Amino acid sequence: MKKTLLFFISIMVFCSCSNSEEVVAYEAVPLTVDWPSNFPEITYNLDNNPLTDAGFELGKKLFYEGRLSSNNAIACAFCHEQAFAFTHHGHNLSHGVNGGIGLRNAQPMQNLAYQTSFMWDGAATHLDLQPIIPITSDLEMGETLGNIVTKLSTDVYYQEQFTRAFADGEINSENILKALSQFMLTMVSSNSKYDKYVRNEENMTLSSIEQDGLNTFDVKCASCHSSDLFTDQNFRNNGLSINPQLNDKGRYEIGNNPDDLYTFRVPSLRNVEVSYPFMHDGRFATLEAVLDFYDSGITDNGNVDPLLLKPDGSYGIDLSDYEKESIIAFLKTLTDHEFLEDERFSEY
């Protein structure tokens, strides 16, 4: 009996020895991203976190990893679903561990390399720091970075993948955050019908209603939803009525500056066809409702952006039925099916 046991133990020792001989080492294979020619320069400094194949793979695994949360079930992807431009489909307000309901609608994740701040109120100023907010929020993942390090450190896959991805090979908070950033930075959405049209690719043309919508958009919307990112990245108040239950003061919560009252980061409009519901609290289910709001629903909440002031002193953007219809047709040309279905970003 003893002999057989010894035999098995020696086999196990032998096997684990031969496993560890399979050399796992740092692999600095650069990952190149085709930054689109119709976009401005990226703002993320890649010198501090160069993109590599191994870093991207690790970041993706972490993005889909339930163990980043206290109940081991809520991954980032739980609230950021690819098919809906990485929003929390079907939820006005997101919920996480403990079923607690958050204050805000999950934002799409796309073109994050270009952003100067993150979250609706700009609470995070660097992409590497953003994930700390959902990870440690009781309403989202309810976990600590220290516990995550402990959990991942016992997993052979992570031991090897951190070795491949980082020169120091350490499973620590800094490397977890850098790997997540590497995955998020590559999420570039730039292959919509509109992009192909502006870059003169594949002989793409817009239909006449889409072109009319683009023309109206340029005059009436592009002051805030500007550039091919469709946001000027500023914090603005577009005249939404205040929801008394949430009383979300937006950017004001960050610095208590009265000028920031009820201002929110101007969102990109890429992939809006699939990222409903809309606005920071998900109050509008459809684009039709959004355009009716701009035309006749703006409320003077005390700090509405002067760009929305009409000559008669009231606030709003006058839109005819055809203008609304054509703007929506144009907005749908911003849907990037290649991005929404790109297997590089999918779990399997």
Q: Which residues bind ligand HEC (CB under 6 A)?
A: 68, 74, 76, 78-80, 88, 94, 96, 102, 104, 106-107, 109, 112, 115, 118-120, 130-131, 134-135, 140-141, 180, 184, 220-221, 223-225, 236, 238, 240, 264, 266-267, 269, 272, 275, 278-280, 290, 294, 305, 307-308, 317, 327
Taking the complex as a whole, the smallest distance from the CB of residue 230 to ligand HEC amounts, in Å, to 9
Phi first, then psi, for residue 232 (nearest 5°) are -90, 0
Taking the complex as a whole, the smallest distance from the CB of residue 204 to ligand HEC amounts, in Å, to 22
Residue closer to ligand HEC by CB (options 55, 102) is 102
For 75, 119, 148, 272, the CA distances from 62, given in Å and listed in that order, are 8, 20, 10, 26
Please state, in angstroms and rounded to a whole number, the distance separating the CA atoms of residues 164 and 172. 14
Q: How far is CA 165 from the centre of its chain?
A: 23
Residue 189, C-beta contacts closer than 8 angstroms, at least 6 positions apart: 85, 110, 111, 270, 271, 336, 339
Residue closer to ligand HEC by CB (options 10, 153) is 153
How close are the terminal C-alpha atoms of the chain, in Å?
45
Residue closer to ligand HEC by CB (options 55, 131) is 131
Taking the complex as a whole, the smallest distance from the CB of residue 300 to ligand HEC amounts, in Å, to 14
Taking the complex as a whole, the smallest distance from the CB of residue 4 to ligand HEC amounts, in Å, to 47
Taking the complex as a whole, the smallest distance from the CB of residue 201 to ligand HEC amounts, in Å, to 25
Residue closer to ligand HEC by CB (options 137, 201) is 137
β-strands 235-236, 264-265: how paired? antiparallel
Which residues share a beta bridge with 309? Answer: 315
Residue 301, C-beta contacts closer than 8 angstroms, at least 6 positions apart: 237, 239, 240, 241, 242, 262
Residue closer to ligand HEC by CB (options 16, 134) is 134
Residue closer to ligand HEC by CB (options 26, 35) is 35
